[in-house]
């Protein structure tokens, strides 16, 4: 698929939805997970999927926070061309929703209003005892386990392995996808469920994949562009 063809599809869409993963934020300087330079490729004491599980958080809370602060927190990152173009497309009435697996908050920072954060947000942290909210800066600026003023342990508002996705976010995302006329999937290896299974709810005309590398589900797509999503989205004309 060429960028001109992508342009033509987007200009004729009225209810496009964007479904993105970590590859949407790499051009903002945030590493993805499974690429050669990804977070999961770094040498750690335990396998990364173990360290990002609910059990590990509960049983090795300090090790969890050390890994999370060092590997998943990227202060001072800014939205890139992909985030900004999606916000413009929403404003122009072309795009109805962004569904993201990312926890970096960059879609909202770029101005997107209807964003479904399937895996939560690193910008939100809550006390497990009293529910008090804490910002990322507050929990990242301390060493060890961040504690609430009530003495409770603070947990990031992100979906860890073994944890369920938020029901309202799931139904909102699935509703948007099933009503879409165009679904643009980008920057994801489509290897983590249930998120990767969401694209099965799309019944519209144009199922598009924009991804740097091949994915496990390339054959499911009617249109594919292999490349950098920020560079490609920047060429989309409103």
| Footprint on this chain of ligand APR (rule: CB under 6 A) | 21-23, 26-27, 32-35, 38, 101, 119, 187-189, 191-192, 211-213, 215, 228-230
Q: How many angstroms separate the CA atoms of 180 and 172, rounded?
A: 12
State the minimum distance, in angstroms, from the CB of residue 194 to ligand APR: 11
Q: Which is nearer to ligand APR, 9 or 39 (CB)?
A: 39
CB atoms within 10 A of CB 113: 11
State the minimum distance, in angstroms, from the CB of residue 230 to ligand APR: 6
Q: How many angstroms separate the CA atoms of 190 and 209, rounded?
A: 11
Q: How many angstroms separate the CA atoms of 154 and 128, rounded?
A: 6
**197-219: string of b/e by CB count within 10 Å (b at 16+)?**
ebbeebebebbbbbbbeebebee
CB atoms within 10 A of CB 15: 16
Q: Which is nearer to ligand APR, 15 or 124 (CB)?
A: 124
Q: Which is nearer to ligand APR, 63 or 147 (CB)?
A: 63
Q: Which is nearer to ligand APR, 94 or 228 (CB)?
A: 228
State the minimum distance, in angstroms, from the CB of residue 56 to ligand APR: 13
83 is a catalytic site residue: no
Q: Which is nearer to ligand APR, 126 or 161 (CB)?
A: 161
CB atoms within 10 A of CB 37: 9
State the minimum distance, in angstroms, from the CB of residue 101 to ligand APR: 4
Name every residue whose Cβ is closer than 8 Å to that of residue 162 and which is 6 or more positions away in sequence: 53, 54, 55
- Among 54, 60, 119, 226, the active-site one is 119
- Residue nearest to ligand APR as judged by C-beta position: 23
State the minimum distance, in angstroms, from the CB of residue 201 to ligand APR: 18
Q: How many angstroms separate the CA atoms of 141 and 12, rounded?
A: 47
Catalytic residues: 119
């Amino acid at each position: 698929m060429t960028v001109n063809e992508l342009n033509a599809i987007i200009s004729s869409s009225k209810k496009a939805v964007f479904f993105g993963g970590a590859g949407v934020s790499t051009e903002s300087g945030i590493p993805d997970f499974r690429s050669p330079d990804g977070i999961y490729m770094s040498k750690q004491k335990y396998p990364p999927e173990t360290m990002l599980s609910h059990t590990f958080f509960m049983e090795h809370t300090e090790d969890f926070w050390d890994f999370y602060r060092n590997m998943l927190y990227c202060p001072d990152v800014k939205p890139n061309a992909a985030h900004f173009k999606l916000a413009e497309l929403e404003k122009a009435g072309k795009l109805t929703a962004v569904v993201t697996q990312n926890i970096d908050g960059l879609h909202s920072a770029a101005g997107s209003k209807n964003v479904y954060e399937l895996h939560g947000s690193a910008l939100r942290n809550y006390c497990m005892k009293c529910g008090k909210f804490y910002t990322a800066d507050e929990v990242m600026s301390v060493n060890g386990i961040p504690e609430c003023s009530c003495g409770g342990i603070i947990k990031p508002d992100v979906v860890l392995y073994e944890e369920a996705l938020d029901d309202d976010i799931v139904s909102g995302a699935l509703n948007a996808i099933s009503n879409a006329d165009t679904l643009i999937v980008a920057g994801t290896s489509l290897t983590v469920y249930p998120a990767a299974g969401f694209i099965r709810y799309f019944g519209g005309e144009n199922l598009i994949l924009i991804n740097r590398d091949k994915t496990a589900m390339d054959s499911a797509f009617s249109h594919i562009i292999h490349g950098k999503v920020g560079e490609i989205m920047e060429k989309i004309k409103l």
